[in-house]
Structure 1
Amino acid sequence: MTDSAPKAGPSKPRLGYIGLGNMGAPMATRLLDWPGGLAVCDARAEALEPFTSAGASGASTPADVAAQARIISVTVLDDAQVREVVGGPHGILSTAQPGTVVAIHSTISDTTAVELAGICRQRGVLLVDAPISGGAGGAAQGRLAVMIGGSDEAFEAVREPFGSWAELVVHAGDVGAGTRMKLARNLLHFVSFTATTEAARLAEAAGLDLRTLGKVVRHTDAITGGAGAIMLRDTTAPVSEDDPWFSILRHVRNLGEKDLALAIDLGDRLDLDLPLAHLALAGLGAGLGVENDREDRLAEPSPASTASTTREHA
């Protein structure tokens, strides 16, 4: 265990925070009471004032932060800014002591994280990619999730201080894994947003109130868990029939195919194209690992025929 690991009592390491924007400021605020103390840095002098007034030490450059702190969080805009903060002329590596842990909370390329970790390692510094999920609201409430890519040693060093602003702290794997997990999480997020716009167009074409639909979606997702409710298996491989998940996921598939087919049918009657709904219908079973087999297809009506039958008997 290096000197950067959290220790009991007053000997906890001094923390540093670089980047006090919409996300960084509320995260750093929750570190003001950290027993080892806090050093902060931001390009805007006015961003430092609330922290220095509350007892944190202000720093003019990342190098000044690294001269004081043993665990340093970085929340800046993009890969270029991260590179400058870590390795620039006034960057962290110009003054960091061996054993210092640098955590990059910005969402950057996983290849950038791996590259910078290698450069840091040559100086005896540990770098972790530690992107966050939960938005500004989660930061303000201290309820973020942080996905950490790095060594076991580095993870143990940051777990306790990160728990000051994160409700969920996970070790995703080696350096780069945190960013890859964040990208997979955000893929779901923004594909879901695109699907939401398609659902809104269907609702609008059907003469429904979109705000009311939004209330229903938020209400039921809070109960069911939304898309995350099916992310409980440790593999995406096809599910064998003797697996306890088989009947559950087949039920999800059957309901999903029925409802997607009905939504597509409604869109057809409203002369509205729903491309994501068609993609979802085509790929749902295989994606769940319970693609329709021959017996399923013989025993159950197809989604198209279900929609047709429903329309004929409506």
Structure 2
Amino acid sequence: MTTKYAGFIGLGNIGRPMAQHLSDSDFPLMVFDSFPEAMASLVEAGAKAASNAAEIAQNCNYIGLCVRDDNDVNDLLYGDQGILENSSAGTLIAIHSTVTQASLLRWASDAAAKDIHLIDAPMTGGANGAEAGTLCYMVGGESTQIEQCRAYLNTSAAKIIHAGNLGAGIALKLCNNLITYSQFTAMSEATRLAEACGLSAEVLREVGKENGVINEQMYMFISNRNALAANGDQATIDKYMGPMGLLGEKDLNCALTTAADLQLSLPATEVIRDMINDVFIAKA
């Protein structure tokens, strides 16, 4: 009998440890990444490397996608070498990427036409949570499909929240990201004001921790960013913090696009989207 693998595509700083947890939990694992070197450690641990998305689709009954954006997911799903064209009926695809809700619903509809199941399963917890296996998944889809993927998600999860119907998981993720980036922006500007008034970030944290306004994630963000700013030049800050700022801009664009599709205006989010990259690289 041919072995059916758990498949995983997208082995960045979050996807790689997610895939590693699958492997450590004794799921036969097949992986693919556009950068072959990203697969090396997983192959050494026993995973099988695929040459493209089609090979993943042909050999896996569960596929997790953890790539950057809507375009990356589109490229993997469609075409002669795409997942939808090469998967067997009944295959379950979990989209971990932060994307627009409209894209997610379109992918799921196209998958369903081929009797392929696609759910949204974004997560929060970042690279540290992925390494520790303490991610919080926000999933959308039918209960039967959520239960089918639960064993796979549990390998890297502290909590799995079934947010509701298809698209509810990514909606929850977009809302969570909006709050997170708003907090980072507020923390950045509050710290600038405090320091201009002769106060330290530490005393601001002391008050914020006491009244619950400042959480540890906000404080660590500003501490790490300011430490880089104090000890390095702008090129160093851009190198380490710039990619996160661009990711924030992309994520907030997803939220704004989804809101526009629902005829909802989010003016404050537009402002934060326009400045979030500068917040990360200590220019705002």
TM-score, normalising length: structure 1 = 0.64
Quote the residue 2:127 is aligned against.
136
User: Is it true that 1:84 corresponds to 2:75 in the alignment?
Assistant: yes
Q: Where does 1:1-314 land on structure 2 (aligned, <5 Å)?
A: 14-214=5-205, 217=208, 221=212
Q: Distance in 2 between matches of 1:103 and 1:49?
A: 23
Q: Distance in 1 between matches of 2:35 and 2:178?
A: 32
State whether residues 13 and 36 of structure 1, in contact with CA within 8 Å, keep that contact through their aligned partners in structure 2: no
Distance 1:217 1:32, change over 3 A: farther
Partner amino acid, structure 2, of 1:166: A
* Equivalent residue pairs, number: 217
Partner amino acid, structure 2, of 1:165: S
Partner amino acid, structure 2, of 1:43: S
1:164-209 alpha-carbon deviations (Å, 9 max, x no partner): 1111111111111111000111111111112112321331132111
Q: Distance in 2 between matches of 1:124 and 1:195?
A: 46
State whether residues 4 and 59 of structure 2, in contact with CA within 8 Å, keep that contact through their aligned partners in structure 1: no
User: What's the CA shift for 1:86?
Assistant: 1.3
1:74-104 alpha-carbon deviations (Å, 9 max, x no partner): 0111101101111233111122111111011
Q: Distance in 2 between matches of 1:119 and 1:189?
A: 32
Q: Which has the larger radius of gyration?
A: 1
Distance 1:13 1:169, change over 3 A: farther
Which stretch of structure 1 is more off in the superposition, 27-36 or 160-169?
27-36
Q: Distance in 1 between matches of 2:16 and 2:60?
A: 18
- Which has the bigger relative contact order, CA under 8 A and spacing at least 6? 2
User: What's the CA shift for 1:132?
Assistant: 1.1
State whether residues 69 and 99 of structure 2, in contact with CA within 8 Å, keep that contact through their aligned partners in structure 1: yes
Q: CA RMSD in A?
A: 2.5
State whether residues 103 and 129 of structure 1, in contact with CA within 8 Å, keep that contact through their aligned partners in structure 2: yes
Percent pairwise identity: 38
Divergent runs of 4+, >6 A: 222-227
User: What's the CA shift for 1:212?
Assistant: 4.9
Q: Distance in 1 between matches of 2:209 and 2:32?
A: 38
1:124-151 alpha-carbon deviations (Å, 9 max, x no partner): 1000111111111111111111111111
Q: Distance in 2 between matches of 1:137 and 1:121?
A: 34
Distance 1:178 1:205, change over 3 A: same
Q: Distance in 2 between matches of 1:39 and 1:14?
A: 6
State whether residues 10 and 32 of structure 2, in contact with CA within 8 Å, keep that contact through their aligned partners in structure 1: yes
Q: Distance in 2 between matches of 1:89 and 1:144?
A: 34
Q: Distance in 2 between matches of 1:213 and 1:83?
A: 44
Q: Distance in 2 between matches of 1:192 and 1:124?
A: 41
Q: Distance in 2 between matches of 1:29 and 1:213?
A: 39
Distance 1:195 1:148, change over 3 A: same
State whether residues 5 and 60 of structure 2, in contact with CA within 8 Å, keep that contact through their aligned partners in structure 1: yes
Q: Distance in 1 between matches of 2:95 and 2:88?
A: 18
User: What's the CA shift for 1:215?
Assistant: 6.3
State whether residues 7 and 63 of structure 2, in contact with CA within 8 Å, keep that contact through their aligned partners in structure 1: yes
Which stretch of structure 1 is more off in the superposition, 203-212 or 172-181?
203-212
Q: Distance in 2 between matches of 1:76 and 1:121?
A: 21
